[in-house]
Amino acid sequence: MRVDIVIDNADYGKFSDLQLCYTDNGVNRKVPLSFLGYERVFDFTTDFTSVKFDFFFVSAIVYGVDNLLSRDIYSNDGWTRDIEVEFPVNNLAVWSGKEAKLKQILDFLTGDNWQISFREIEDVDLFQPRTNRRKIPRYERDSIKSVSLFSGGLDSLIGVIDELEKLSNDERILLVSHFDSKSPGPNGDQRTLLRHLMTQYPNKIYWVQSKLALSRKDADGNRVTIESNYRSRSLFFIGLGCYLSTINELIIPENGTISINYPLTPSRVSSLSTRTTHPYVLKNTQELLVDLRLSITINNPYTLKTKGEMFIECTNQTFIQGIFQNSVSCGKRGRKQNWEVKAGIQECGICMPCIYRRAALNKAGLDNENQYGNFITRANSRNYSKDLPALINYLRRDISLEKMKRDLLVNGNIEIDKLEEYAEMVLRSKEEVLQLFREKGNRFVKSELGLR
C-alpha cells in the first residue's frame, strides 16, 4: 500500500496537518495526522530546518502511517503489510542513501515490509505561533544536564528519579513526553507524576509534552478503521527526544524484560512479539543517528535489569514507594469491559506488562492485587485469559541458559558479546514471575505451574 504525504499550510496557532493519502478499493482517501498543542514544543525550540527536525518529522509520519493501515484489511498474511512511503525532509542530501537503514529499523520494529524514499520538503508554513499569548515559559538551556523520555509508566518514573538524584543544585533535567490524544490516559499519568516530582525536586525539572493523533475520519467524513497496535510509538518518542535534546545523551528508561519481550511460545516469535525498545531497534537507530551526523547517544541504563531489580535499586526508595501507585504499566487500560473491578483501577492485571509489574512489586514486598482489574493469581481455569495458557507453559518450561541464548538470537539479533547477560536477565525475570505465583497463587494456579 502506497501512502503519499501532503503537507498543508498551518492555520493560526497550529502546526500543519499532514494528509496521509492512499487508495482504498479504488477510492482516494485523505486522513489528517495532527500535532496538537505544538506550542509547547515551539516554546522550547523554533527549529524547522535541521536534520534533528527531519528525524522527528519522519518518525511522526511513521507513527501515523503505521496506525493508518489496519492489519486486518491491508496485511498479506494477517500481520505483515507492504508499505510504501516517500518521506519529506529538509536535508535531502543528508538523508540520501539512508533508505536501507531506516527500512531495517521499521521492518523489525513493526513486522512489515517498508519501501522507503525521500524528497525535498515543500515550501510550506509548518507552524503559525499565536502572537497574543501572555505567558511563555523560559528555559535556562545551559542548566539542562540530563534528558529523559517520560511516559507515565513505572520504568520511566524510576529512571527520572535516578537521574534527578545525580543532579547538583543548579542542574536540571528535561523530561520529554508525548501521548496520542485519541488515547489520553498517559496524559493524566504524566501530569500526576510530574506534580509529585516537582514537589520532591523543586526547580529541577523542565517538561515538554507533544500530542500527536491520527484522525478517525478521512477528509470526506468517512470512518477510518485504524491499526490498534502502537509498535512505532517508540520511534516517534525517540524522534521527539532527539529533536528537543540539548545534550548528547537521551535516556530511555525501560526494563530489559520488556525490551527483549521474550515470546511465551514459539508461535509468538518474530512479528507477533512487540519490539518497541528491543536492543536491535535501539542499536540500529543509534547507527542511523550517526549516519545522519547527529551527536546524540541513546542510552537505556536498565537494559540488563528486570523490572523488580529496577524498582528495588531505585536511588530514592522512600519517594518511589510513596508514589509508584500513580504510575501505569498496563497495555490494556482502555478495555475494561471484561475487568472484574472497573472503578478506580488503571491496570488490567492480566496483560504481560501488568504481570511483570506485579512480580516486580512482589519482589519489593509491595504487591497489592486489589490495584488491578483482574486477579491473575486467582484464576480458576486456563480460559481465565487468552494469554494464561501460554504463560503457564512458559513458566513450566525448564529453560537452560544455552537454550535461552539460542532463543534470543532467533527472536531478535542480540549482540553476541551481550547475549549471555541478556539471557541471564530474562531467566531472572522468569523467576520473579514464578515467585509471584508461589507467594500469591491459588491452588489451581500453583497446580498448573507445578508449584507447591
* pLDDT tens by residue, 165-195: 999 999 999 999 998 877 778 889 999 999 9
Residues 6 or more apart whose Cβ sits within 8 Å of residue 109: 231, 232, 234, 235, 275, 276, 278, 281
Better-scored residue on pLDDT, 364 or 133 = 364
pLDDT over 70 at 124, yes or no: yes
Residue type, 348: C
Contact in structure between 403 and 326 (CB atoms under 8 Å): no
Range with the lowest mean pLDDT among 210-219, 244-253, 424-433?
Answer: 210-219
What mean pLDDT do residues 372-386 have? 91
Largest CA distance in the chain: 69
- Residue 266 is predicted with a pLDDT of 60
Nearest to 36 by CA among 148, 181, 150, 166: 181
pLDDT over 50 at 416, yes or no: yes
Reported pTM: 0.94
- Residue 243 is predicted with a pLDDT of 96
User: In the chain, pLDDT over 70 holds for what percent of residues?
Assistant: 97
User: In the chain, pLDDT over 90 holds for what percent of residues?
Assistant: 73
Residue type, 54: D
What mean pLDDT do residues 264-290 have? 76
Between CA 253 and CA 282 the distance in angstroms is 12
Strand partners, 88: 119
- Residue 267 is predicted with a pLDDT of 53
Between CA 82 and CA 1 the distance in angstroms is 6
SS3 324: helix
